[in-house]
Every structure is written in C-alpha cells, then in structure tokens.
Structure 1
Amino acid sequence: MKTIKRAALWVDSFFEMFSLTALLAMILIVTTQVMTRKLFHFVLFWSEEVTLLLLVWFSFLGIAFGFREHLHLAIDTLTSKFPSSWNRVLDKLIYASIFAFGIYLIVSGTEFTILMNESTLAATKLPNSVMYAVMPITGVLVCVYSLLQFIGIDTRRHRGNEEGDA
C-alpha cells in the first residue's frame, strides 16, 4: 500500500512540476518572441505553436489540480441552509459527477487523440495528437482525485487561506 501511495504521489508531483515548467517555458518563449519581433523584426517560426501546446497542457492539468485542491466553483448560498447530512450526500453527488467528467475526458480524449494522430502540426511537424493527449491524462487524474474524495480522503497538497481560517 505504501508503494502505491508513493508511486501515485510521484506521478502527481511529476505532472505538477511539468505544469509549472510549462508555465515558465510559456513566459520565456512569449517574452523572447516579443523581443525578437520588436528589436530584430524576426519571429521564431515555432514559438506560437509550442506556446499553444504548452497552454493546452497547462490548462487541462490545471483542471485536474483544481479538483485535487478543491478549487472548483461552489455556490453554497442555498446548501449552507441544509442539514450537514444533506450536504454530505450532495458532496457525494458532486464527486460522482466529477468522476463521470473524468471518464468522459478519458474516453473522448483517447478517441480524439487517436483520430488526430493522422495529421501534423504546421511548424513543429509533431503529430497533432500531442495537443490532445493531455485529455485522457487529465481524465485519469480527475477520476483518481474524485474517487479519493468520494471515500473521504483529502487530496489537497497545498494549504492556503481556506474558508474559516483566520
């Protein structure tokens, strides 16, 4: 069990570090692109395409990490008036819905990734599927996080100013 937990934490950390690296790379590429365009009237032919790829991966992985950290939107104006037992049931329904969304990402993302493997990106000549491969990965992460949350395991790794903290 400890080995599985360690492996899961390693995978989670890998994708989180990849996301942070992608953000840094996007900042550097766009800054370089703007400077070379303005100063030298030259644009790197691959910069926009690579930035778009990194943005897609960063965004999709951000969806999964948002679910992990409980950062998704919740409007509790009505539900705060319900008894806590009702809210626990609603939380279970929410986790089940999130799990279903993860399944959708896995199935549709896999199908779309396979479909897009036939074409290539214009500048980098990478298979177009590189852009869409993040969908099933995000789906797996979302399913794991929602399943853990459903059974009562707190998946948050980063604690901030949460509601109720003073």
Structure 2
Amino acid sequence: MISVARVTSVMARVSLWVSGAGLVLMTVLIACQVFWRYVLNDSISWTEPGSVMIMGWFIFLGAAVGIREGYHLSFDILLHVVSHRVKLMLHTTSDIVVIAFGAGMVVYGTQLAINAAPNVLPSLGISGAFDFMPIVAGGVLVVLFSIERIARRMAGMPTARFGETEIED
C-alpha cells in the first residue's frame, strides 16, 4: 500500500503542477487578449476557446487532487454523534459514491468526446473531442484517488479529511 500511495502522491503532485501551470497560462492568454483588443485594437481569435479548454484541465485535475487530499465537499453533522467505526463506514460509503461519480465522468465524458470528435473547433483547428478530455482524465483520477482512500482506510493507514485537525485513523 505504501508503494501505491507513493505513486498516487506523484500523480497528484503532477496533476497539481499541471493545474497551476494551466491557471497561469490561462491568465496570461486572457491578459494578452485584453491587451490586443483594447491597446492594439485587434483580437486574437483562439485565446478565449483555448483559455476555456485550459480551464477545464485545471478544474478537473485540481478537483481530483482535492478528493485525494480530503478537500471535497461533505456533510459531516452526523459524524459528530456516531462511533468511530460508523464514521469509518460512512467515510467509505462517501468514497464509493465519489467513485460512482468519477466513473460517470469517465463514461459520459468519453461518449461526449467520441460524439464531438468529428467536429473541428474553428478558432483552434483541433477536434472537438479535446474539449471533453479533461472530464475523462479528471474522472479517472477521481476513481483512482477514491479507491486509494478506501484501500488506505482498510490497511489502517491515515486518510486526510477536510476540516479535521487530526488525520483519520
């Protein structure tokens, strides 16, 4: 399990760096577009669709890392009144639901990409499938990271949870 955790940690770190680089790149592209439009009185046609595509990547990759690190949205009121064993079962149930959601992202994102593949994005000149690839990649990572969380819990390894000062045992 420790080897798996190391691999997923590297995957998460790479995803986070790609997300950060995408955020910076999108900001630069938008700044260039503003400069060209309002200073040079011209416009770059590909910056807006390119920025939206980059935004998809950093949102979905960053969200997957957030799931691995325990920063996903949760409703924890019930957890304050149940035993530790029930908490662990509820955390696992939550992770199973997240796996199902990630699997849906993979399946339906793939269908969208396949359906959009024949279309060409006019300003970028690439297949429309590229718009949906971040959904698929993010879904794969969501599934992998959620499975890791369950496996860590079953192996007795700590698992991070948002809002907790101590790591879950």
TM superposition score normalised by structure 2: 0.84
In structure 1, the residue matched to 2:86 is 86
1:4, 1:85 → 2: CA distance?
Answer: 25
Structure 1 residues 73 and 5, CA, compared in 2 at 3 Å: closer, same or farther? closer
**Residue 133 of structure 1: aligned partner:** 133
Matched length:
162
How far does residue 128 in structure 1 lie from its aligned partner after superposition?
Answer: 0.6
What is the alpha-carbon root mean square deviation over aligned residues? 2.4
Equivalence for 2:20: 20
Consecutive unaligned residues of structure 2, counting only runs of 5 or more, are: none
What CA distance in whole angstroms lies between the structure 2 residues aligned with 1:64 and 1:135? 10
Deviation at 1:129, TM superposition (A): 0.5
- Amino acid corresponding to residue 163 of structure 1 in structure 2: E
Give the alignment's TM-score, normalised by structure 1.
Answer: 0.85
Q: Contact 2:15–2:62 (CA<8 Å) still a contact in 1?
A: no
Listed as ranges, the gaps of 5+ residues in structure 1 are: none
> Cα deviation per residue 1:23-46 (whole Å; 9 max; x = unaligned)?
010111111111222211111111
Q: Percent identity of the aligned residues? A: 24
Change (3 A) 1:71 1:121: same
Tell me how far apart the structure 2 counterparts of residues 123 and 84 of structure 1 sit (CA, whole Å): 55
Amino acid at match of 1:87: K
Q: Secondary structure at the match of 1:40?
A: coil
